[in-house]
């Protein structure tokens, strides 16, 4: 019988491995500008490391780890994530005594026995980064800036969702309030959420079941319970990013499973990846180093999924090879001048724009746009444009939507607004 690879384990063939090279090189380049150094960690660790760092009652530790007994009867596990090993190494080598702040990144395979599907594998790869030794808002903003720089350099359209999970002072009060709320909706919640209500009520907010989503739509939100220092911290993170024109979305339903997660938490979602659209998750974990037997040193970090990133880049490359990102159809001379400026702005940022002459009829222009298979056409009419407006036509659904044409916006924001027409 033919021997094949194990279910959920993939070969990365040459037609894909080139892309991996591109994105790991970009990670190294982006991270080094922020002062990060690489840490290369073992694939196997003692099982108790993950039980302690990730938590005995999590899905990962309860049912997803590849654990086996070695010949000397010790229990070993193929690492399901990188943070636990970084912290073990940090404590083991007393890195805190050598430098006040450690900025470390890692790249490599992780193993989780999940149900395989597109974008979800049993061996997958992560690019992760951790900062140990600082707990101020500036460093949280810096980490998010670095992520943003990385995705921008790859020209990927992503949305950065951020939330504050509060701290040991303010979160317990919220947790109890949410538990009471959850109990009042008990019948509408799934079985999993019944368990979560006992163990960690915050998790009912990120349940994917339709019934639970509906039942928790008016759940109390953590933002209303934050203590003053947490509120200030979160406000400062947002201001710093806003000043740097980094767009973030505050998502009050974004939670993380474990107790030691606190304050800034985030997730990067790809536009156009289907259900496996999370490309990166991360957050602050101030109690973890201490919990692992080290000094009380705060930390924050993230992990990016390489397979999903590669899928995104492939989809984007396919699109690039096939069609321009947008077609601009101006009507008349005034609109033509405006179209000229919009096209210039978008092309400077690498978007492929087809610009038509304003002297041709709209019908002729649309025929050409159809032929080029562009996803969107920006129609700039003479009257509209003097009011600072245009119309976006989604060429797949053939629906029109009015759009404010703002030349002071960044090319990325402009493109986001145009693509938002299909949501
Ligand atoms: P986590 O360590 O669970 O916070 O995941 C961080 C990122 O790793 C996610 O946003 C995904 O992009 C990626 N990831 C997690 N689990 C898998 C998996 N089983 N297969 C592929 N990518 C994964």
Q: Are residues 297 and 330 in the same domain?
A: no
Which pLDDT score, from 0 to 100, does residue 321 have?
67
Cα-to-centroid distance, 121 and ligand 1 (Å): 9
Q: Ligand 1 within 6 A of 161 CB?
A: no
Identify the domain containing residue 253 by its residue range.
Answer: 14-170+226-315
3-state SS, residue 277 = coil
Nearest C-alpha to atom 4 of ligand 1 is from which residue?
Answer: 281
**Among 108, 159, 281, residue to substitute to test ligand 1 (most atoms within 8 Å of Cβ):** 281
Cα-to-centroid distance, 306 and ligand 1 (Å): 9
The answer to the question of residue 203 being in a domain is no
Reported for 60-65, long-range contacts at CB under 8 A and 24+ positions apart, including other chains, are: 60/112, 63/113, 64/112, 64/113, 64/114, 65/111, 65/112, 65/113
The answer to the question of residue 205 being in a domain is no
Q: How far apart are CA 39 and CA 51, in angstroms?
A: 22
Cα-to-centroid distance, 304 and ligand 1 (Å): 7
Give me Rg for the CA atoms of the chain: 24
Looking at residue 340, which CATH number applies to its domain?
A: 3.40.50.800
Task: State which of 269, 295, 315 marks the end of a domain.
Answer: 315
Q: How far apart are CA 247 and CA 409, in angstroms?
A: 12
Q: Ligand 1 within 6 A of 114 CB?
A: yes
Q: How many domains does the chain have?
A: 2
Q: Are residues 257 and 338 in the same domain?
A: no
Q: Are residues 261 and 128 in the same domain?
A: yes
**231 burial class (0-12, 13-18, 19+ CB within 10 angstroms)?**
middle
Note the residue count of the chain. 423
Q: Are residues 278 and 360 in the same domain?
A: no
Which pLDDT score, from 0 to 100, does residue 138 have?
98
| Torsion over CA: 205, 160, 84, 176 (sign) | negative
The answer to the question of residue 217 being in a domain is no
Cα-to-centroid distance, 182 and ligand 1 (Å): 28
Q: Ligand 1 within 6 A of 281 CB?
A: yes
Q: Are residues 414 and 367 in the same domain?
A: yes
Cβ atoms of 326 and 372 closer than 8 Å: no
Q: Ligand 1 within 6 A of 120 CB?
A: yes
Question: The tokens of 282 are what?
Answer: 């991360």
Cα-to-centroid distance, 305 and ligand 1 (Å): 5
Nearest C-alpha to atom 21 of ligand 1 is from which residue?
Answer: 120
Nearest C-alpha to atom 15 of ligand 1 is from which residue?
Answer: 305
Nearest C-alpha to atom 1 of ligand 1 is from which residue?
Answer: 281
Question: The tokens of 414 are what?
Answer: 């402009």
Q: Are residues 296 and 353 in the same domain?
A: no
Give the closest residue to 326 by CA, choosing from 157, 93, 133, 74: 157
Task: State which of 315, 341, 367 marks the end of a domain.
Answer: 315
Q: Are residues 300 and 413 in the same domain?
A: no
**Residue 126, CA distances (Å) to 85, 121, 289 in order:** 13, 12, 21
**Among 27, 66, 110, 126, residue to substitute to test ligand 1 (most atoms within 8 Å of Cβ):** 126
Nearest C-alpha to atom 17 of ligand 1 is from which residue?
Answer: 120
The answer to the question of residue 242 being in a domain is yes
Q: Are residues 120 and 248 in the same domain?
A: yes
Q: Are residues 18 and 122 in the same domain?
A: yes
3-state SS, residue 153 = helix
Residues of the chain below pLDDT 50: 421-423
Q: Are residues 383 and 309 in the same domain?
A: no
Which pLDDT score, from 0 to 100, does residue 157 have?
78
The answer to the question of residue 6 being in a domain is no
The answer to the question of residue 210 being in a domain is no
The answer to the question of residue 358 being in a domain is yes
Task: Pick the atom of ligand 1 nearest to 121's CA.
Answer: 20
Looking at residue 246, which CATH number applies to its domain?
A: 3.30.930.10
Cβ atoms of 324 and 372 closer than 8 Å: yes
The answer to the question of residue 341 being in a domain is yes
Q: Are residues 249 and 346 in the same domain?
A: no
Four-CA torsion 75, 79, 82, 87, nearest 10 degrees? 10
Q: Are residues 47 and 143 in the same domain?
A: yes
């Amino acid at each position: 019988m033919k021997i094949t690879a194990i279910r959920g384990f993939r070969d990365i063939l040459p037609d894909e491995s080139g892309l991996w090279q591109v994105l790991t090189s970009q990670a190294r380049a982006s991270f080094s500008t922020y002062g990060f150094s690489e840490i290369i960690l073992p694939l196997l660790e003692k099982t108790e490391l993950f039980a302690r760092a990730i938590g005995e009652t999590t899905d990962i530790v309860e049912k997803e780890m590849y654990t086996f007994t070695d010949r000397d009867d010790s229990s070993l596990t193929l690492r399901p994530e990188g943070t636990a090993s970084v912290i073990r190494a940090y404590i083991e080598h007393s890195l805190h005594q050598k430098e006040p702040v450690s900025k470390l990144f890692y790249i490599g395979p992780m193993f989780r026995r999940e149900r395989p599907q597109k974008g979800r594998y049993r061996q997958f790869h992560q690019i992760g980064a951790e900062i140990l030794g600082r707990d101020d808002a500036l460093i949280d903003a810096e980490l998010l800036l670095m992520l943003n720089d990385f995705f921008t350099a790859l020209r990927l359209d992503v949305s950065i969702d951020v939330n504050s999970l509060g701290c040991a002072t303010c979160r317990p009060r919220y947790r109890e309030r949410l538990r009471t709320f959850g109990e009042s909706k008990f019948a509408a919640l799934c079985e999993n959420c019944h368990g979560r209500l006992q163990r960690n009520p915050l998790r009912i907010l990120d349940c994917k079941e339709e019934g639970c989503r509906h039942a928790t739509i008016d759940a109390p939100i953590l933002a209303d319970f934050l203590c003053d220092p947490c509120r200030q911290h979160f406000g400062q993170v947002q201001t710093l990013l806003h000043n740097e024109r980094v767009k973030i979305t505050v998502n009050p339903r974004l939670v993380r499973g474990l107790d030691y997660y606190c304050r800034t938490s985030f997730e990067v979602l790809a536009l156009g990846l289907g259900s496996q659209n999370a490309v990166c998750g991360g957050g602050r974990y101030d109690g973890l180093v201490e919990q692992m037997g080290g000094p009380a040193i705060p930390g924050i970090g993230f992990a990016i999924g390489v397979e999903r990133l590669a899928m995104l880049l492939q989809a984007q490359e396919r699109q690039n090879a096939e069609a321009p990102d947008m077609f601009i159809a101006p009507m008349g001379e005034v609109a033509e001048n405006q179209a000229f400026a919009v096209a210039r702005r978008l092309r400077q940022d690498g978007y492929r724009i087809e610009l038509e002459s304003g002297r041709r009829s709209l019908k002729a222009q649309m025929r050409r746009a159809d032929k080029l298979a562009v996803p969107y056409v920006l129609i700039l009419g003479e009257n509209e444009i003097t009011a600072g407006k245009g119309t976006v036509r989604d060429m797949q659904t053939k629906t029109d939507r009015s759009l404010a044409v703002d030349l002071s916006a960044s090319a990325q924001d402009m493109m986001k607004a145009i693509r938002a027409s299909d949501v």
